[in-house]
């Protein structure tokens, strides 16, 4: 029995080795890291697309404004990372670089899907390299190209486009609420209220507006804008 356990343990020591039942165990561990990350909610609206996230402030002496969870990638694209934040920071900075290089090279902004595909290529590569591990993070991108876009990347390097979704701790409950209350004619203002309502429900007693961060990209101006928490009514 002990020898069998040791043999099974060997399959999770590298990301390039399949277990006998066809699983990449380090990828599954990366997905578990995402599930334990802070909650992020994305909603596509008729006039744009938005992200609302939980900063998960665990110490009273931390300065809330110093914790940044929503990042501007380009004028018309934003993103947040859920899971291992340090992995997310590396990929966010890479996305910013890719977006700027595209502008310099082609003199036009990169479209959201093309950017997400390049980030997913990087994530997938790290499931094939010996001595490396998968990125333990999911990135949620918002952007406006010909229409509002909401895309989420998986640690293994795949992506999905959503009308509305949630990732991180409490995502199951958050998704159930989105399924019940989301409609495609929702406005950005209404979407923010819905996201805050869900955050309040999922976080319970831990909910505090100070630990909420968010941004949206509007359809008309195609401009990334941080949510002004002073104007939020909840």
- In this structure, what CATH number is given to the domain that contains residue 78? 3.60.20.10
Give a yes or no: residue 201 inside a domain: yes
- With contact defined as beta carbons under 8 Å apart, do 173 and 200 qualify? no
Is residue 143 within 8 Å of 112, Cβ to Cβ? yes
The structural domain count of the chain equals 1
**Assigned domain for 111 exists:** yes
Helix (H, G, I), strand (E, B) or coil at 83: strand
Can you tell me the distance from the alpha carbon of 8 to that of 194, in angstroms, rounded to the nearest whole number?
Answer: 45
Closest to 23 in 3D by CA, of 13, 12, 34, 10 = 12
In order of 19, 36, 97, 140, 165, the CA distances from 127 in angstroms are: 14, 21, 22, 20, 25
Average pLDDT over residues 127-147: 88
CA distance 177 to 228: 24
Residue 137 falls within a domain, yes or no? yes
Pairwise CA distance, residues 210 & 204, whole Å: 14
Range of the domain at 171: 23-57+68-226
What pLDDT score was predicted for residue 126? 85
Number of H helices, E strands in the chain: 6, 10
Does residue 129 fall inside a structural domain? yes
> In this structure, is residue 82 part of a structural domain?
yes
Query: What mean pLDDT do residues 180-185 have?
Result: 95
The residue that leads in pLDDT, 35 or 129, is 35
- Position 1 in a domain: no
pTM of the model: 0.90
């Amino acid at each position: 029995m002990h020898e069998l356990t040791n043999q099974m343990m060997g399959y999770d020591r590298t990301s390039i080795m399949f277990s006998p039942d066809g699983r990449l165990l380090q990828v599954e561990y990366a997905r578990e890291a995402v599930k334990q990350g802070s909650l992020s909610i994305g909603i596509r609206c008729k006039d744009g697309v938005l992200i609302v996230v939980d900063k998960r402030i665990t110490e009273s002496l931390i300065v809330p404004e110093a914790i940044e969870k929503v990042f501007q990638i380009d004028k018309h694209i934003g993103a947040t990372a859920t899971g291992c934040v340090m992995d997310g920071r590396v990929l966010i900075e890479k996305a910013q670089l890719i977006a700027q290089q595209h502008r310099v090279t082609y003199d036009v902004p990169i479209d959201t899907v093309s950017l997400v595909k390049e980030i997913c290529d990087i994530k997938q590569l790290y499931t094939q390299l010996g001595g490396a591990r998968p990125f333990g993070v999911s990135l949620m991108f918002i952007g406006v190209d010909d229409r509002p876009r909401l895309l989420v990347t998986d640690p293994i390097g795949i992506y999905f486009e959503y009308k509305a979704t949630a990732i991180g701790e409490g995502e199951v409950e958050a998704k159930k609420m989105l399924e019940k209350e989301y409609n495609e004619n929702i406005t950005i203002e209404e979407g923010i209220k819905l996201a805050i309502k869900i955050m309040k429900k999922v976080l319970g007693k831990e909910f505090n507006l100070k630990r909420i961060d968010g941004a949206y990209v509007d359809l008309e101006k195609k401009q990334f804008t941080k949510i002004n928490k002073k104007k939020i009514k909840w």
